[in-house]
Structure 1
């Protein structure tokens, strides 16, 4: 932008005014948007980026009015889009982003008007133009918000009919003609507001408008009363004195009614529509007609393309169907019956002609839908049903006789098969019980492996890894201690595996039993010698009475040694360092009684009953201790003896078992293999 030019027509001279940053009385900004000359001859200039200014002709300078943030006494924020002086001398300043200001040139007071949802106000802060009507109302054109109306008498924005019916919501200019009507240019055409009846008429391309997209501030009233409105492709000249309001209304006319015949419906090529005469008040169509087409128009030579139509078909449409400028209607899937098609028309101002044009017709009901046809169909169906029923009765009786014979044969076969199935069922139940016992044995064996072998193996792996990684840095004493610990732990694992093996065999009833004449020290001494060193390592004192070492008996030395060894191992496991374990043999009324007593934590009464009373068929958490004691119980049972926990022993735990005297006298046990 190059600033402002002042041209003097009397001398033909012109002068350019530009903004000078060093001169506060120069033009605010070189981008000038609008110029206003007031009634008293003052010239006001609106700029794009720096507010407005007033030209002081006497001193040939500009008085600036700019926006200061936070100061409500200054004008609104730029860019300023329009300046307007009302009849009271106030200057209205519209902004493209910040609303509207009203400036009192005498006092310099400024009032601000912006959009607020809590009170009557502008509906947008983006404004284009300001104009005053003859009634003193201030009309403000906006971008996208239509027209805002300000009433100075109420000092408030009010609702007005002029803003309710516009062709477009972006308003560029206002002009009034000699009759008092207000013409409004928008982004979608021209509108005429009649202040007498408060009606609005739209004008578009079909009315002679050069282009419905008008421009800002491009409006002018000529001295002869004509109005000029400029747009992107020229301008439109309106002669309001030649304008007459349309009072007559077009009359609708149905031009063609067509239907699809039943024969056409059965063919695959496009349906042929047959026209009907228009002078028939009620035309009867053949049965089977389902598709109808109606064509209509209005013999109106003025604004014919701006007419609007509505139609409806009684019995199908509940209300009028808006067709707009389209002049054809289709209906499909019509049922037999009487119908009435109506059409009405409205002019460009959406004034509807109260008189509609109609066409009545009926679709003939086919014979099969009449009562005679339905009665005949029912009779035929009843006759067919009677014949079918009789035929089925005859067949049923024949099949019944054959079925009775088959039933006798099948009954004999079922009796024979039932006897075979019963025998098979007993056999399967016996096998199932054996499988359940085997599965329980497997589950307990796996649980014990997972529970009791994990920790010893971890110890062996830990010390062997320590020896492998630190062999050179360890002393001989430490190496011997680690190797001895690995040896002891390996022996414990071996004994555990041996116990598990014997226990799993005992659960299958196949524990090997080989009795022979032996003496007590043959089974007690080996077990004592094995665990004496292990007890010493835990600082546990282990004692054995040798008084009955030579007492003879008949037993399986390997199994009996295993039982005593498990009892000693169990005592060492649950006796704290510094404790004491005693092993002994005493004669009893029924034979020989062995015992292992310790000063450990003992075994609860519930666990002892579960271990020694045969209630271990489904242990919740089997362990090495439990399986060792259970194996002891099975070995003692195999010898015909009894094992129990001595309730009179209170210093820890004392487990006793006895071998009957008859075993030593009568020879091998009858259950030996």
Structure 2
């Protein structure tokens, strides 16, 4: 029967669990690496946008300083300054850069007539209508195309532009407006935009002066289409896996979208992506940048994770196979070891067998040879009684030799596993009764009384009938042999839980502790005569011990010298 073990399967299970842990760790590390790389990319885009806004602001500051430092400038001078400043050509996404003049209510007619004399006879500040003061786009470069639509427009009449212009005046800094649609766009081609404003003050030297509005000459402004601004900063958007959406102000609101990369390059959207939301703050104005990076396959199908998992599974099954081979080798090694032990035991038993035969057969053979020599040499000189006595000695010696050889052969067959073993359900009570009946005459000749206890009910065991009889015969025979005349031998059966115990007791000569220690050891086999000088082989209890062990039972001896002996053995209930 093959030895069954869980070791290879435990090795496989441990390998798979370890592979799972390492794979999860690798997957987590990969996500962290990708997340960090993604965040770095997003930060790069944010920095590029912020840097460009600062560069645009510097152009507005320089233009505002140019107007502030001049008593008056003409349209041509404004055009030349912006050309030399490369304002339009170098700034990505810019629609133009212009100046909005602040006009007091009583100066509106004079202002309009002045501009009309410059060659614009239809010029009017629009929209028309009375108000506290007016503003008008006076200069804008390039002064052509759709930019002409802004010429004369009062930006202060539009709430979004007005809010930014007021903030710029109060902060004396460049301010970006909320989301607007530029005047330059046609109705059918409107796209989200924003406008930068910076105030222009005349003769204003004290920032602490709360009456700065009286020195306000107007605003330098620059309108942007967001698509042009962002693509001008980042280059033509070609990343089909990365989406950038810019929202006006804080938070994500579909109605406040300023820019979406989908408008310039369609993103290949999948269910596997990384996303990041980060604010961009410029002079108090906040844009919300929302990045999404899509992947064609999930991270757990990436080469790194699949490679780690595959290698782990391969190693797990390799260790599984190695464990099986090791187990087979160990099993073979154990079998060889057991065979060696059995061989050593057989050699030892052979030596013991020869030793016992040499030692225990010498005495009866000497007796046998001695008396046969006497009969042969002096047969005619011996009378009938002497011949009878010598014949009896010869008979007893031959009988002792036969019993010893029979016990030795039985033990040898049992030790090598060649003794017939046919267990079946057997009633111990009936076997005890049979053995007692067999020894009734022997006990009667020695005036020994045989007593029994608990023999009236069946005591069933699963055992070999012949072996049980052999055990009981040896125990009863020894008890009678070492009991004095008029003694008592008692055979008792007891049952407790799952075992049955048989005890054979006598009130004979007993034995010493040293003699008890040698009872079941064939290497220290010894025998002594009974109370009527009965001969023994010394093999009886050794046979009994081996036969009891064959039945998964146990045997033990209790004895006090001069008070008797009790030999007991127990067997599992059948």
Higher strand share: 1
TM-score (normalised: structure 2): 0.34
Q: Which has the higher contact order (CA 8 A, sep 6+)?
A: 2
